[in-house]
Amino acid sequence: MSNDVWVVADLKLDGTIRKVTFEALSEAKNKLVGKLGGQLCAVLLGSGVSGLEAELGKYGAEKVYVVDSDLLKDFNTEGYVNALGELIKQNEPAVVIAGNTVFGQDYFPRAAARVGAGVAMDAISIDLSGDNKLQIERYSHSSKAIQTQVFHGDKTMMATVRPNSFKDVESPATPEVISGSVEVNPADVHMKVLELQTKESDRPELTEAERVVAGGRGLASEENFKYIYELADILGAAAGATRAAVDAGYCPYDMQVGQTGKAVSPNLYIGIAISGSVQHFAGMGSSKVIVAINKDPEAPIFQKCDYGIVGDLFDILPPFTADVKALLSEG
């Protein structure tokens, strides 16, 4: 077993690296690498990914393991599990971290099972225990509780981390690139990606956005969600929704925030016509500042937000949006 700490790069559909990767590199360097005494390494998996190594070095990666293969195209789960599993078996790092994105949740626990490693999902803090075992904190029980989990045994310790939990801090290094040490085994890839559609959007992704504007069923129609999008765009925010709004067909499922949707923890969360159910708060309750606009003074959200207006969104939003726009354009 080496003392190295690895971070697996999480790529967007456009081939760029997600911010959570830089956050994980920064936090691993800050909390784990010094004490363990090994190197901070990045793992770059995908098809046509060579060239991104320098960007990983910018956040402190001293070494980058690259597996560039056609079999990793279109985020093929089995290819990723094979490549990461082989890399871990060959090099036996102490810790492996990845982003808790939709794809991370898919391939990462399976790769852990392949190498017999324990895995902790969706960590919001990472550290080492007294005897240098990985120790993490994570939400459980509809985000009403925070668990501390500590690893045991002498296997590689693996964890995914929640986006927006750590600061990304540049710490330039020129990484040594290790390419081709692992070949993806075609016999291990059984599934085929028949089609991959990218949703065009200029808005940031929900899980990594610093601001989120979300709407509930009170928006009353798909068309009225324009109020949400307009405010979101002025604030440079991601647009979200409650399950009720998604179920009513006002917006697509990938906008759903909550226990059954995405977990977000932005600096600013503005909930419009959202009542504030336990299930919705499970997905956004850790936001730093929560703002509510709702016409029902009894809505539970008013018991657990920072700022709010009791008012009709159709009255409040037009002047609010216009004033925010004016303010931000002043700079």
**Residues 34-73 within binding reach of another protein (CB under 8 A):** none
Stretch that binds another protein, among 24-32, 50-58, 191-199, 215-223 (CB under 8 A): 191-199
173 vs 184 by CB, closer to another protein: 184
Which residue in 131, 198, 329, 330 binds another protein (CB under 8 A)? Answer: 198
Which residue in 235, 241, 273, 284 binds another protein (CB under 8 A)? Answer: 235
Alpha-carbon gap, residue 211 to 291, rounded angstroms: 11
Query: CB–CB of 233/211 below 8 Å?
Result: no
Stretch that binds another protein, among 36-44, 167-175, 177-185, 275-283 (CB under 8 A): 275-283
DSSP, residue by residue, 318-329: HHHHHHHHHHHH
Query: CB–CB of 14/199 below 8 Å?
Result: no
Query: CB–CB of 41/64 below 8 Å?
Result: yes
Query: Is residue 310 at the binding interface for another protein, with CB under 8 A as the rule?
Result: yes
- At 284, give phi and psi (nearest 5°): -140, 5
Output Rg (C-alpha) for the chain, integer angstroms: 21
Alpha-carbon gap, residue 131 to 263, rounded angstroms: 32
Residue 54 Cβ vs another protein, minimum distance, rounded to whole Å: 24
Residues 72-131 that bind another protein (CB under 8 A): 74-75, 77-78, 81, 101-103, 105-106, 109-110, 112-114, 116-122
Alpha-carbon gap, residue 147 to 152, rounded angstroms: 16
Q: Which residue has 């002025």 as its token pair?
A: 234
Residue 294 Cβ vs another protein, minimum distance, rounded to whole Å: 10
Which residue in 94, 211, 241, 244 binds another protein (CB under 8 A)? Answer: 211
39 vs 100 by CB, closer to another protein: 100
Query: Is residue 295 at the binding interface for another protein, with CB under 8 A as the rule?
Result: yes
Q: What is the dihedral of CA 204, 205, 209, 212, to 10 degrees?
A: 90
178 vs 324 by CB, closer to another protein: 324
Query: Is residue 13 at the binding interface for another protein, with CB under 8 A as the rule?
Result: yes
DSSP code, position 218? G
